[in-house]
C-alpha cells in the first residue's frame, strides 16, 4: 500500500489501478511532463499498437493519474542460447507534484508482485538515473559505448576482408528483410531482446522528432547483417542508429560501406558493443574513438532456480548461492550445479561452499556482463571460500559481452 500522509503533511495517498485503453493520452501527459516534452496526438496514436493497457499500472489521486509504470513483453537470450520471456519495465514516471512520497515504490511492489504471479523469472529495464533501481533489485547487465570515427583517417588493415554483398534498400524492403537477420542475431547474443512485428513497425516509423536534425533513415543490408543510419548534413556525419551482424563477413562488408561515404567527415555509433572488433580491422585502432560508455539494460532475478537453470555455464560449477533480496523476498539458499551442457538449481537449507550475493548482482552475473571477482571487490558478493569464488567467476562468463540491442 502507499504510505499514509502524516498530519499536516502531503495530500492523501494515491490509489493503484490497471490502465484502460482510453487512459493512453493521460498516461502520455504524465510521462511527457516527467521527461520534459509534449507528445503530439499522432505520436500517441503511433504508440498505441505497442500499448497493452493491462500491462500498465497507474497511481491516481482524486481521479487524476499521478504515476505510471508499464511493461513490454520481450524474450531475452541467456548465455548458451536459451531464452526467457521477460517483462521490460517502461514508461515509469510520477507527477512532479507527487514525488518522494512512495508512489514509485508502491507501483514497483505491485507490478513486480504481478511479474512473480505471472511466472516471470527475470525482469528488465533501462534507467533514466543510476540511483533509482538498485533498491528494487536491479543490476546493470549491458554496457555500450558511443564511438566516433574520422572517416578519412580510418584505413583498413591489409588483409581485412572485402567480401562485398551489401545492397542499399528502402524502408519497405528493410521491414521485410531485417527481422529474420535480427532473430538470428538475438539467438547468439546474451542479453539480446526479441522484437515483435509491432515493434519492427514502430522502429521503422522513423518519426521526425527521433531524427535530431538528421535525415530519415537509410538502410544497408547484407545476407547476414544490416545497418540503418541517418546523415547529418550540418555536421557532415553518418549516424549509425541500428546495426547487427551475424557473421564477420557481414561486419567487414557493412563497415567498408559505412566508411566509404565521400563528402562526410565522421561516422558515429551511439550503441557500439564494447567487444566489437572494428578497431582491429583498421591500421590505426585509435580511429575508433570512444566518446562515452553507458549502462544499457538492467536485470532483476525474480525466480532464482528458473533463471539460473536456464543458462549454460562456461565451466563446471557446484555452489550454494545465498541470495539477499530485501525488496521482494525472493532470495534464500540455492544449490547451483551447472556446466556447458546444462544446469540445475534448487532451493536448499544447508550445505556446500557458499557464496552470498545481492539479488541485483545476481542479475549482473546471470548475463555474464560482470565478473564475480569484480562484484566481490565491491562487496556485492562475498564468500570465505576462494575456490568457490574462482569457480563462480569462471562459470558465469558468457560467450561474448551481453548486448540488449533494443531501447525501450
Ligand atoms: C524517478 C521517479 C519515478 C520517482 O518517483 P517517486 O514517487 O518520487 O519515488 P518514491 O517516493 O516512491 O521513491 C522510492 C525510493 O526511491 C528513491 N528515489 C526516488 N527517485 C529517486 C531518484 N531520482 N534518485 C535517487 N533515488 C530516488 C526514494 O528516495 C525512495 O527511496 P527509499 O524508498 O528506498 O527510501 C520520479 O522522480 C520521476 O518521475 N522522475 C522523472 C522521470 C524518470 O526519471 N522516470 C524513471 C524512468 S526510468
**Site to substitute for ligand 1 among 61, 93, 96, most atoms within 8 A of C-beta:** 93
In the chain the first and final C-alpha atoms are separated, in Å, by 28
**CA 20 to the chain's CA centroid:** 27
In this prediction, residue 211 carries a pLDDT of: 93
Residue 128 is labelled as binding a ligand: yes
**Per-residue pLDDT at 5 exceeds 60:** no
- CA of residue 229 to ligand 1 center, whole Å: 34
For atom 28 of ligand 1, which residue has the closest CA?
A: 100
For residue 245, the cross-strand partners are 225
> Please, which residues bridge with residue 269 across strands?
147, 240
Whole-number Å distance between alpha carbons of 16 and 1: 9
Mean pLDDT over each residue of the chain, to the nearest integer: 95
pLDDT at residue 10, as a whole number = 54
β-partners of residue 238 are: 231, 267
Does the domain at residues 144-295 carry the CATH identifier 3.40.630.30? yes
- Please give the number of the atom of ligand 1 that sits closest to the Cα of 127: 48
Half-sphere exposure of 258 (CA within 13 A, CB side): 33
Tell me: is residue 105 an annotated ligand-binding position: yes
In this structure, the strands spanning 354-358 and 317-324 are parallel
Name the residue at shortest CA distance from atom 9 of ligand 1: 104
Q: Which three cell numbers stand for residue 141?
A: 547487465
Q: What tens digit of pLDDT does each residue of 61-109 get?
A: 999 999 999 999 999 999 999 999 999 999 999 999 999 999 999 999 9
pLDDT digits (tens, 9 = 90+) for 237-270: 999 999 999 999 999 999 999 999 999 999 999 9
Q: Mind listing the pLDDT tens digit for each residue in 127-155? A: 999 999 999 999 999 999 999 999 999 99
Fold identical between 144-295 and 304-395? no
407 in the Ramachandran plot: left (φ > 0), alpha (ψ -120 to 50) or beta? Answer: beta
Q: Write the class of the CATH domain 304-395.
A: alpha beta
Q: What percent of the chain has pLDDT over 70?
A: 97
Assess whether pLDDT exceeds 50 at residue 6: no
- Give the residue numbers marked as catalytic: 133, 408
Quick count: other Cβ atoms within 10 Å of Cβ 117?
A: 8
pLDDT at 352: 73
Kind and range of the H or E element at 354?
Answer: strand 354-358
Q: Is 36 in the pocket of ligand 1 (CB under 6 A)?
A: no
Three-state SS letters, 201-227? HHHCCCCHHHCCCCCCCEEEEECCEEE
Is the minimum distance from the CB of 99 to ligand 1 under 6 angstroms? yes
Give the other-Cβ count within 10 Å of 10's Cβ.
15
Encode pLDDT of 372-399 as tens digits. Answer: 999 999 999 999 999 999 999 999 999 9
CA of 373 to the centre of ligand 1 (A): 30
pLDDT for residue 49 is more than 50: yes
CATH topology of domain 15-120: Aminopeptidase (3.40.630)
Give 132 Cα–ligand 1 centroid separation in angstroms: 6
Question: Does residue 7 carry a pLDDT above 50?
Answer: no
The domains of the chain are located at 15-120, 144-295, 304-395
| Closest alpha carbon to 69 in 121, 34, 116 | 34
DSSP string covering 139-182:
EE--EEEEEEEEGGG--BPTT-------EEE-HHHHHHHHHHHH
Q: Ligand 1 centroid to 320 CA: how many Å?
A: 34
The answer to the question of whether 129 is labelled as a binding residue is yes
Amino acid at each position: 500500500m502507499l504510505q499514509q500522509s502524516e498530519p499536516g503533511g502531503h495530500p492523501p495517498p494515491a490509489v493503484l489501478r490497471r490502465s484502460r485503453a482510453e487512459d493512453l493520452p493521460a498516461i502520455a501527459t504524465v510521462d511527457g511532463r516527467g521527461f520534459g516534452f509534449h507528445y503530439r496526438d499522432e505520436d500517441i496514436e503511433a504508440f498505441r499498437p505497442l500499448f497493452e493497457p493491462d500491462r500498465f499500472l497507474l497511481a491516481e489521486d482524486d481521479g487524476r493519474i499521478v504515476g505510471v509504470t508499464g511493461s513490454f513483453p520481450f524474450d531475452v537470450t541467456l548465455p548458451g542460447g536459451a531464452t526467457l520471456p521477460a517483462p521490460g519495465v517502461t514508461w515509469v514516471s510520477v507527477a512532479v507534484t507527487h514525488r518522494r512520497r512512495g508512489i514509485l515504490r508502491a507501483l514497483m511492489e505491485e507490478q513486480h508482485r504481478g511479474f512473480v504471479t505471472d511466472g516471470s523469472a527475470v525482469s528488465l529495464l533501462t534507467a533514466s538515473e543510476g540511483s533509482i533501481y538498485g533498491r528494487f533489485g536491479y543490476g546493470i547487465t549491458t554496457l555500450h559505448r558511443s564511438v566516433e570515427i574520422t572517416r578519412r583517417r580510418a584505413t583498413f588493415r591489409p588483409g581485412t576482408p572485402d567480401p562485398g554483398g551489401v545492397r542499399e534498400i528502402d524502408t519497405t524492403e528493410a521491414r521485410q528483410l531485417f527481422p529474420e537477420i535480427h532473430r538470428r542475431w538475438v539467438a547468439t547474443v546474451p542479453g539480446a531482446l526479441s522484437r515483435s512485428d509491432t515493434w519492427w513497425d514502430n522502429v521503422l516509423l522513423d518519426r521526425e522528432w527521433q531524427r535530431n536534425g538528421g535525415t530519415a533513415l537509410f538502410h544497408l543490408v547484407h545476407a547476414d547483417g544490416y545497418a540503418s543510419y541517418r546523415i547529418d548534413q550540418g555536421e557532415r556525419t553518418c549516424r549509425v542508429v541500428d546495426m547487427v551482424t551475424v557473421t564477420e563477413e557481414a561486419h567487414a562488408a557493412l563497415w567498408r560501406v559505412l566508411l566509404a561515404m565521400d563528402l562526410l567527415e565522421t561516422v558515429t555509433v551511439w550503441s557500439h558493443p564494447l567487444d566489437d572488433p572494428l578497431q582491429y580491422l583498421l591500421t590505426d585502432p585509435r580511429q575508433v574513438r570512444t566518446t562515452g560508455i553507458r549502462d544499457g539494460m538492467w536485470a532483476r532475478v525474480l525466480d532464482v532456480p528458473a533463471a539460473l537453470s536456464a543458462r549454460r555455464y562456461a565451466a563446471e560449477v557446484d555452489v550454494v548461492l545465498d541470495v539477499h533480496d530485501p525488496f521482494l523476498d525472493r532470495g534464500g539458499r540455492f544449490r547451483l550445479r551447472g556446466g556447458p551442457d546444462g544446469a540445475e538449481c534448487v532451493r536448499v537449507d544447508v550445505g556446500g561452499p557458499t557464496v552470498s550475493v545481492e539479488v541485483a548482482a545476481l542479475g549482473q552475473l546471470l548475463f555474464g556482463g560482470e565478473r564475480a571477482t569484480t562484484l566481490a571487490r565491491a562487496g556485492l558478493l562475498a564468500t570465505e571460500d576462494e575456490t568457490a569464488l574462482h569457480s563462480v567467476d569462471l562459470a558465469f562468463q558468457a560467450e561474448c559481452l551481453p548486448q540488449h540491442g533494443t531501447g525501450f
